Copies of this chain bind each other. A is one copy, B any other.
Amino acid sequence: MIEAPSTALFLQILYLVAISAEAMTAALAAGRREMDWVGVCLLGWVTALGGGSVRDILLDHHPLSWVAHPSYLAVTGVAALLTIAIARHLAQLRWLFLFLDAVGLVVFTVIGCNVAIGLDMPVGVVIASGLISGCVGGVLRDVLCNEIPLLFRAELYATVSVVTGGLYVAGHALQWHHEAVMAVAMIVGLALRLLALRFGWSMPKFVYTRDLH
């Protein structure tokens, strides 16, 4: 971490909020599949901590976050199980959830970029590291729910991650003020995601009906 203590603390708090929100959306996905309480907890862990774990494994960056800080297992497990108790009230909180999920996306992305920058990775790998951190948790959730990952079919989710990571990397390369660059990258990414949700923006689809084999 290259932040001043206050920025590092702020990012840390955002991270805890983000993994909790991811665990809660995973719990709702588990509930739609009628999983049991154990499944809710496990799916929460995989969704909230899976993206960062895959990134660290690919980059050989050990120990993984939840290995160094097992309290993350407790935080996300509690968040997932708490969701069972408050699920009936969550429909009213739909927008809060989507907002926290979007916060999680940009926070995970910036943290992922930071990890790769700390390992002196080239630009392409830094952006890929942010993308993997931000998006792979949701991919694992969808695969375990036996669905084609939403990421591959809808919304600007991955695009938001690439834009956030690209801005962050560009500002870093230009040696602009670190905290300002991080804030701008996250705010732009967050705004893009919320606008995409509000106006239903999406990437064009590729439809191919023939069979190669």
Interface-central residue, A36, A128, A144, by most chain B CB under 10 Å: A36
Question: How many copies make up the complex?
Answer: 3
Measured between alpha carbons, how far is A151 from B41 in the docked complex, in Å?
Answer: 11
Measured between alpha carbons, how far is A84 from B207 in the docked complex, in Å?
Answer: 9
Contact of A152 among B36, B74, B208 (CB under 8 A): B36
A11-43 interface mask toward B, CB cutoff 8 Å, 1 = contact, 0 = none? 000000000000001011011111111111011
| A122 sits at the interface (CB 8 A) | yes
Contact of A39 among B60, B123, B125, B151 (CB under 8 A): B151
A36 in contact with B154 (CB, 8 Å): yes
Count A-side interface residues using an 8 Å CB cutoff: 69
Could you say which residues of chain B place their CB within 8 Å of the CB of A2?
none
Could you say which residues of chain B place their CB within 8 Å of the CB of A171?
none
A158-193 interface mask toward B, CB cutoff 8 Å, 1 = contact, 0 = none? 110000000000000000000000000000000000
B147 in contact with A36 (CB, 8 Å): no
Q: How far is the CB of A54 from chain B (nearest CB, A)?
A: 10
| Complex: chain B residue closest to A161, CB-CB | B38
| A212 sits at the interface (CB 8 A) | yes
B34 in contact with A205 (CB, 8 Å): yes
